Amino acid sequence: MKKALFIVDLQNDFLPGGALAVPRGDEIIEPVNKLQAHFDMVLASKDWHPADTKHFDKWPVHCVRGTYGAEFPAGLSLSRVQRVFLKGTGESDDGYSAFEATNDDLKSYLKIHGVEALYVVGLATDYCVKATAIDAAKAGFETFVIPEAVRAVDLQPGDGEKAFEAMKKAGVRIISMKEIV
């Protein structure tokens, strides 16, 4: 079975000190780097917002295309990343799920490359990781989330745990990094 690692929105603006920082988001960089060697394919997504979007009515301005905040952090290994899917690119779309990418069709890309299992990591558990994992399961991929390589925003206490429950309910399996590395 061909397996792909999918890195969701591991971008500067979501790390401590960023415009929309995920608490302890930087802690996942090392696990994500270690995981990459264990997969046939490594893919990633980026929030890639225009400067003017309705998305910023709900959230602080973040990941504006072409800015430092929208880039991957320096410590993230990118040598195995084969494709980056850009989402939230319009004036009115939130782009939580990588399956909403506008520069390529993620479902088709995975099918064309024979991927059957998608392992999702990145930021944030309770938004884009959850949306991407649930959409992957709905699209028929065997889908996994690795808790050691995700972090939640937790706007409301417990949002991260609720996200794990929602993913499980959708058929996503939560798997420890120890089972892979």
Residues with catalytic roles: 9, 87, 128
User: Strands across the sheet with 142-151, in order?
Assistant: 81-87, 41-47, 2-8, 115-123, 142-151, 173-174
- CA-CA-CA-CA torsion for 18, 96, 112, 118, nearest 10 degrees? 80
Residue 16 has which token pair? Answer: 């401590």
Up-side HSE of residue 7: CA atoms within 13 Å toward CB? 28
- Find the angle CA(73)-CA(76)-CA(81) to the nearest 5 degrees: 115
**For residue 59, how far is the Cα from the chain centroid?**
17
The residues near 148 (Cβ < 8 Å, ≥ 6 apart) are: 28, 31, 176, 177
